[in-house]
């Protein structure tokens, strides 16, 4: 089968044909129809804003429609708000199409796992529900308009996009702009300060910062912790199937170079590798006998990721990115082709690898292969708050993670970085920069400031957020980006309604909007949006009321990872609100002491009240703008 390997992310097809005569003025302009960008658009539109959503590719959905069908998170309790809405739509699709007891429903895992084509249909239909959202696919950012402010900052007020169908410019103006790209392309064009690469250990005191060789739960020689320009390796999240009826053979790339894979063949000859799955790639099942095939995090000489190949991507021109994309594409298909056909690959491995091929019903317009390279890490904003390693770990003075009074989202995953450099002769089996600390941190609050640039107004950045390299390894997941996107969209709407800069919005009002929409700013294992006390519980948790409830010194350590499905876990211990529990005097006095610190003190009795009733009585007295701030 002859196969032209010029599959690219600029393919000239659109799902909603964009007019080259775009309306000039929008309330909110978003670049990047990733899940984070989409959730921003929907959240702003729900508040009545007119929204323009621009996307460089021919389809919306980012990696969720581009092959990342097996998302990273730990506990289902952390998935609320607009991401839970997405889950419910996925679950509804499989339930109505195949039946509630079907294998497809089971494999969707509560709606978190969707085939790329299904995720695409859902995002398209969802966006189409809002006539005040205009979607422009096949449009690339060219330039921006900045206005100098008396404060010394600049305001982003306009942008020009190139229509890739005819190369005609489309100029738009907006009150608020949102950067939904993985790379941070809009914030870079606007002149925001950003970083690419790794900080040193000394800069923020992060154990895993800089150059590190971490393996078998220890640091190896060469772990200097020095800063450099290295970022995580990229790869494709390849949608594959083992269904003979739906399977296409892996084509031989035109640029196939067998010599590239000699280290892998050596490992196979030496008996270090005996299986395709788990030792070379990670096969993660999704509905309809498909899989999200991913890099094997701690594989030996070779897997799907190519550490070091991605360094020029974040700041690269479209042409440079296309070269990097093509190099990864040739490598990926070449790897599969070798394992399925090379005579030096043992029959057992060949037969196992040959069970998998490209699905006929995915990406028919792109050779049945994803148009999206998995950009694990691009530019990182330097914003009003820099999320670091410590911010997703247990706070020194509490049972939970660090208290963030202006939290607008919750994350729940371990610090996780794929290799930044390939194995070398000194460390032939260890990738520099690879670590996976699945058991080392608790669910963590994410503050509003990670989205706010320091020197540019009128812009929010919910994807390429402000963080260190290590901190970003805990934030780089679609459920988190959708949660931050929801917050960004609602913040943009507040800016429009109150005529204040996005950096000066009332975060307590934003939190209230998020809670009303079923989103969380604090993690609980037993209080969900259908609870009558949900909003009160979320509000007071954001004020620190549960920071050390129960007291860490009064309870024994409990292992917090109890698997329910591979990498997924039961709810975290000691994160229950226990709202049906009767209030005791000590806790009542503790909470009332906090309430009395407000500008308008809150008062209530506790006798005979449950925790939920007590908080509800306090919550009824809360006035807009009342916010506790953590002590420095």
Query: Which tens digit of pLDDT belongs to each residue from 416-447?
Result: 999 999 888 898 888 999 999 887 889 999 99
Q: State which residues form the domain around 343.
A: 238-366
Rounded CA-CA distance 418/472 in Å is 12
Per-residue pLDDT tens for 581-615?
Answer: 999 989 998 898 887 765 556 666 778 899 999 99
Of 436, 447, 460, the closest CA to residue 401 belongs to 447
Residue pair 35/57 in contact (Cβ under 8 Å)? The answer is: no
Query: Over the range 455-484, which residues count as b (16 or more CB within 10 Å of their CB) and which as e?
Result: ebbbbbbbbbbbbbbbbbbbbbbbbbbbbb
Residue pair 266/272 in contact (Cβ under 8 Å)? The answer is: no
Q: What is the per-residue pLDDT for 7?
A: 45
Q: Is the pLDDT of residue 623 over 80?
A: no
Task: Report the 3 state secondary structure along 100-150.
Answer: CCCHHHHHCCCCCCCCHHHHHHHHHHHHHCCCCEEEECCEEEEEEEEEECC
Q: Is the pLDDT of residue 232 over 80?
A: yes
Q: In 298-385, which residue ranges form alpha helices assigned H by DSSP? A: 318-341, 347-354
Task: Name 51's Cβ contacts closer than 8 Å, sequence gap at least 6.
Answer: 26, 27, 28, 29, 30, 41, 44, 45, 130, 132, 133, 134
Rounded CA-CA distance 466/193 in Å is 10
512 in any annotated domain: no
Rounded CA-CA distance 539/270 in Å is 59
The sign of the CA dihedral 106, 112, 113, 115 is positive
424 in any annotated domain: no
324 in any annotated domain: yes
329 in any annotated domain: yes
Rounded to the nearest 10 degrees, how much is the dihedral formed by the CA atoms of 601, 602, 607, 610? -140
Token pair, residue 399, equals: 């049972």
What phi and psi, each to the nearest 5 degrees, are found at residue 344?
-85, -5
Task: Report the 3 state secondary structure along 461-512.
Answer: CCCCCCECHHHHCCCCCHHHHHHHHHHHHHHHHHHHHHCCCHHHCCHHHHHH
Per-residue pLDDT tens for 144-195?
Answer: 999 999 999 999 999 999 999 999 999 999 999 999 999 999 999 999 999 9
Token pair, residue 431, equals: 């990738």
Query: Over the range 6-18, which residues count as b (16 or more CB within 10 Å of their CB) and which as e?
Result: ebbbbbeebbeeb
Rounded CA-CA distance 517/46 in Å is 11
Domain count, the chain: 1
Residue pair 289/246 in contact (Cβ under 8 Å)? The answer is: yes
Whats the size of the chain, residue-wise? 632
109 in any annotated domain: no
The sign of the CA dihedral 614, 620, 625, 626 is negative
Count CB neighbours of 270 within 10 A.
Answer: 9
267 in any annotated domain: yes
Q: Residue holding tokens 């792109």?
A: 366
| pLDDT over 70 percentage in the chain | 93
427 in any annotated domain: no
pLDDT-wise least confident of 118-127, 355-364, 377-386, 590-599? 590-599
Per-residue pLDDT tens for 458-495?
Answer: 999 999 999 999 999 999 999 999 999 999 999 999 99
Count CB neighbours of 308 within 10 A.
Answer: 15
Q: Is the pLDDT of residue 368 over 90?
A: yes
312 in any annotated domain: yes
Count CB neighbours of 284 within 10 A.
Answer: 18
Per-residue pLDDT tens for 560-584?
Answer: 788 888 889 999 999 999 999 999 9
**Mean pLDDT (whole number) for 619-623:** 81
Rounded CA-CA distance 430/214 in Å is 8
Q: What is the per-residue pLDDT for 578?
A: 97
Per-residue pLDDT tens for 21-31?
Answer: 545 899 999 99
Distances in whole angstroms, Cα of residue 325 to Cα of each of 203, 402, 440, 533, 535: 33, 38, 34, 49, 45
Q: Residue holding tokens 């092959």?
A: 67
Mean pLDDT, the chain, rounded, equals 93
């Amino acid at each position: 089968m002859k196969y032209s390997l010029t599959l690219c992310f600029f393919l000239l097809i659109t799902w909603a044909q964009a007019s080259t005569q775009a309306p000039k003025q929008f309330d909110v302009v978003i670049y990047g129809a990733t899940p984070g960008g989409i959730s921003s658009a929907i959240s702003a539109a729900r508040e009545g804003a007119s929204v323009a959503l621009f996307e460089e590719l021919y389809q919306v959905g980012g990696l969720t429609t581009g092959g990342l069908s097996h998302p990273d998170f730990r506990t289902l309790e952390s998935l609320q708000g607009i991401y839970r809405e997405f889950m419910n739509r996925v679950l509804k699709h499989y339930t109505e199409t195949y039946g509630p007891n079907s294998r497809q429903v089971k494999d969707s895992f509560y709606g978190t796992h969707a085939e790329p084509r299904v995720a695409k249909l859902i995002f398209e239909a969802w966006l189409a529900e809002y006539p005040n959202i205009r979607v422009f696919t096949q449009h690339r950012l060219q330039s921006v308009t900045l206005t100098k402010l008396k404060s010394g900052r600049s305001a982003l007020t306009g942008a020009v996009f190139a229509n890739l169908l005819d190369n005609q410019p489309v100029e738009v103006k907006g009150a608020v702009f949102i950067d939904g790209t993985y790379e941070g392309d809009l914030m870079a064009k606007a002149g925001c300060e950003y970083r690419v690469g790794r900080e040193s250990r000394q800069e923020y005191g992060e154990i895993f910062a800089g150059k590190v060789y971490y393996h078998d739960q220890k640091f190896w020689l060469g772990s200097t912790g020095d800063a450099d320009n290295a970022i995580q390796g990229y790869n494709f999240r390849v949608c594959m199937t083992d269904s003979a009826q739906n399977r296409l053979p892996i084509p031989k790339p035109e640029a196939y170079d067998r010599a590239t894979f000699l280290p892998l063949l050596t490992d196979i000859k030496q008996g270090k590798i005996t299986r395709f799955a788990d030792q070379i790639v990670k096969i993660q099942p999704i509905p309809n006998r498909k899989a999200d095939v991913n890099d094997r995090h701690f594989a030996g000489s070779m897997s799907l990721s190519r550490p070091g190949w991605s360094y020029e991507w974040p700041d690269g021109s479209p042409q440079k990115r296309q070269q990097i994309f093509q190099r990864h594409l040739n490598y990926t298909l070449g790897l599969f082709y070798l394992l399925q056909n090379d005579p030096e690959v043992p029959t057992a491995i060949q037969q196992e690898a040959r069970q998998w091929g490209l699905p006929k019903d995915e990406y028919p317009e792109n050779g049945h292969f994803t148009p999206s390279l998995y950009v694990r890490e691009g530019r990182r904003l330097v914003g009003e708050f820099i999320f670091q390693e410590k911010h997703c770990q247990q706070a020194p003075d509490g049972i939970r993670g660090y208290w963030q009074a202006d939290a607008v989202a919750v994350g729940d995953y371990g610090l996780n970085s794929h290799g930044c450099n390939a194995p070398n002769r000194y460390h032939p089996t260890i990738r520099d920069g690879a670590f996976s600390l699945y058991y080392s941190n608790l669910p963590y609050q994410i503050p509003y400031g990670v989205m706010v640039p320091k020197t540019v107004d009128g812009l929010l950045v919910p994807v390429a957020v402000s963080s260190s390299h290590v901190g970003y390894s805990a934030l780089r997941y679609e459920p988190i980006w959708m949660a931050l996107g929801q917050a960004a969209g609602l913040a943009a709407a507040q800016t429009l309604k109150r005529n204040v800069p996005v950096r000066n919005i009332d975060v307590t009002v934003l939190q209230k909007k998020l809670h009303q929409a079923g989103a969380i700013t604090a993690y609980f294992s037993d209080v969900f949006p259908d609870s009558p006390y949900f909003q009160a519980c979320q509000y007071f948790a954001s004020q620190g009321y549960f920071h050390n409830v129960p007291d860490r010194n009064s309870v024994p350590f409990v292992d917090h990872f109890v698997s329910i499905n591979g990498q997924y876990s039961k709810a975290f211990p000691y994160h229950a609100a226990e709202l049906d529990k009767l209030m005791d005097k000590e806790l009542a006095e503790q909470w009332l002491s906090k309430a009395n610190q407000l500008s308008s003190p809150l008062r209530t009795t506790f006798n005979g009240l449950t925790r939920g009733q007590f908080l509800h009585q306090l919550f009824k007295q809360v006035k807009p703008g009342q916010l506790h701030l953590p002590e420095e």
